[in-house]
Chains A and B, each alone.
Chain A
Amino acid sequence: MARRAGGQLHGGWVSHTVLIVFALGSLLPLVWTAIAASRTNARLAETPPPFWFGGNLLENLGTAWSDANMGRALFNTVVVAGSIALSTVLFATLAGFAFAKLRFRAKNLLLLLVIGTMMVPPQLSVVPLFMAIAELEWTNQLQAVILPMMVSAFGVFFMRQFLITALPTELIEAARVDGAHSVRVVWHVVFPVARPAMAVLGMLTFVMAWNEFFWPIIALTQENPTVQVALTGLGRGYIPDQSVIMAGALLGTLPLLLAFAVFGKQIVGGIMQGAVKG
């Protein structure tokens, strides 16, 4: 990896030191979360603060699990983030393929429109969405937070940029000459070629959906929360116990951190790939 263009110079000890400092700065708050989650609340109100793990982790996790509805929250978040990631990847691949390889009228204008929608943050739409779910009586139901997030302009653009170079036009033409209907072309040609980019987009979308904040805290309550809603409940003082709050934060972050430990390299690669082409 380091043998790429521009990476020809060796970094000295200064570079290494600076990077180590920043890497620690990135990781230590998370380590400290785990330390605080493993202590009693009384110990956290002493000076100096604890620097190593204590023995109360399981107890605090248990309290967070039962009092902050974290079990339900984790299950809901997996459902929500999973559905959003699947639909985003599917629709982004279809649209990205069309924009990358097919000819149709107003294509450039429509692509510009896709890019333009990236500038419109979903936060501006919460009032009408709230009115809609009040009318439909969808408050506290998971579809209320899934449906508005099912497509992403970033995803369309990401897949287009990938397929433009990764999918040889001859391959599509060959399948066409063989008489394949476009649905078959997508299934047998586009999807296999796009698979690595689909995986990356799926992971990025999953992380984003897992951490989605504003709309879920409006649409859901503590009775049927996502992780972020449950954590907001913790942070707004429904549970005063600091060590339990930290245990909740740990529970809500751990699944993504584990995914990072396993797929970190791929996620890093995906973000960088999207960046160069975007």
Chain B
Amino acid sequence: MSSEPHGAAPSTRDGAVPAQPGAALSGPAPAPSDPAPGPAAPTERETRRSARRSRRYQRDARWSPYAFIAPFFLFFAAFGLFPLLYTGWASLHKVSLHSPTEMEWAGLHNYSRLLSDDFFWNALQNTLTIGVISTVPQLLMALGLAHLLNYRLRGSTFFRVALLTPYATSVAAATLVFAMLYGRDYGMINWALELVGLSPVNWETGTWTSQIAVSSIVIWRWTGYNTLIYLAAMQAVPNDLYESAALDGASRWQQFVHVTIPSLRPTILFTVVVSTIGATQLFGEPLLFGGSQTGGASHQYQTLGLYLYEQGWFNFHLGRASAIAWAMFLILVVIGLLNWLVARRLQKSH
């Protein structure tokens, strides 16, 4: 087709199109040209056939989009939406792990019990604290690292892959390693502290120290990932913004504050939301840091996710576990609303 004289193929505006594999399509198709230049009037049979074909085409064009999106929505309904709603239903019942199909109506009992449950408030507080001390430094470091990676560098691919490597390490493996590094007697971190003349820390038993340790695992695993997200957004910032800022005499730091950060606002909001959702779900790190569902001897780093697991699978109260799940869901809804408000604010200020 591409060897045809110029202008002879009006149906393909783009010369590159015929090279695509899709254009190699053939089959029981009518000629691509209009029926008009045909030698004789179409017979009745042909008319009927083309009518049938066009009906089939209509039906196909109309319904195939739904067929294409159906698998996603069916699976989501079966394994996402329905379980979420059913969790709400189960939270109104007394359900034992040993006979999970026998549900006894309990009204709001699980919720009222939760509100007067010190361990629940403890877990909520721990989740918030760990969420803040893992998310804030993580995103700030990611922002700084992305800024550095945005310079022209030697070995930039190496840095990117290296920073992303912790992302490939599972929660379980990472936590087992960090639990050893934070070990009281033989851990590398206490050894280093002693080396510089500080006294060793009993990381696991202290409230703050254990929460910092758990947060550091989250930070280690996710900083590189967020760095790449920021870097991608920074590369999309038009160059002339920097050039005109430089012409105005802005230093690199001023360019970072006045050009980069404002351009990145939507991306920053996105990472804040994703990290916050992740933080409310925190589970594997506190479970494996001390190896117990209680999150430490005095529950000092038990998160909501861990408390859900303890109530459901160690105290056998699936109804209570469901109530905790719905409490977490409510928290997410609040976060979602806040995010929406902030996003609207940002749009208006533009």
Contacts and interface: CB of A to CB of B under 8 A. Distances in A.
Nearest to A19: B159
The contact size tier of chain B is 35 or more
B148 A188 contact: no
B150 A260 contact: no
B315 interface: no
Interface in A172-192: 172, 174-186, 188-189, 192
Given A46-B186, A123-B325, A253-B168, A6 B150 contact: yes
Interface string A91-106: 1101101110011100
B328 A232 contact: no
A249 B267 CA distance: 33
Contact of A130 (B144, B191, B291, B318): B318
Contacts of A275: 228-229, 232-233, 267
A213 B283 contact: yes
A245 B176 contact: yes
Given A48-B191, A49-B191, A179-B27, A104 B65 contact: yes
B11 interface: yes
Given A227-B170, A231-B170, A127 B220 contact: no
Interface string A184-224: 11101100110000000000000100110110001000000
Contacts of A235: 172, 175-176, 179, 288, 291
B137 interface: no
A11 B148 contact: yes
A142 to B, nearest CB: 15
A79 interface: no
Contacts of A170: 12-14, 17
B68 A102 contact: yes
A95 B14 contact: no
Contacts of B165: 26-27, 30, 257, 260
Interface string B22-62: 11111111101000000000000000000001000100111
A127 B148 contact: no
B72 interface: yes
Given A128-B83, A177-B32, A275-B233, A232 B172 contact: yes
Nearest to A218: B313
A226 B101 CA distance: 27
B176 A234 contact: yes
Given A95-B68, A192-B20, A276 B232 contact: yes
Contacts of B169: 30, 253, 256-257
A29 B312 contact: no
Contacts of A153: 72, 76
Interface residues of A, number: 125
Contacts of A2: 151-153, 156
Interface stretch (B124-132, B207-215, B235-243, B294-302): B235-243
A188 B22 contact: yes
Nearest to B23: A174
B5 to A, nearest CB: 20
Given A26-B165, A128-B87, A273-B232, A1 B157 contact: yes
A242 B309 CA distance: 26
Contacts of A227: 170, 172
Interface string B264-307: 00010010000001001101100110011000000000000100
Contacts of A124: 83-84, 87, 325-326, 328-329
Contacts of B156: 1-2
Nearest to B141: A22
Interface string B217-230: 00010011100110
B177 A29 contact: yes
Nearest to B241: A6
Contacts of A4: 235
B335 to A, nearest CB: 8
B178 A23 contact: no
Contacts of B291: 235-237
Interface string A146-190: 011111010010000000000010111011111111111110110
B65 A127 contact: no
Nearest to A182: B64
A15 B148 contact: yes
A112 interface: no
Most buried by B among A7, A9, A218, A257: A7
Contacts of A271: 164, 225, 228-229, 232
13 contacts: A6-B234, A30-B166, A47-B186, A98-B66, A104-B65, A113-B73, A135-B101, A174-B12, A179-B29, A179-B53, A256-B170, A271-B225, A272-B228
Given A188-B22, A214-B305, 6 more contacts: A1-B157, A3-B152, A45-B185, A245-B180, A257-B165, A273-B232
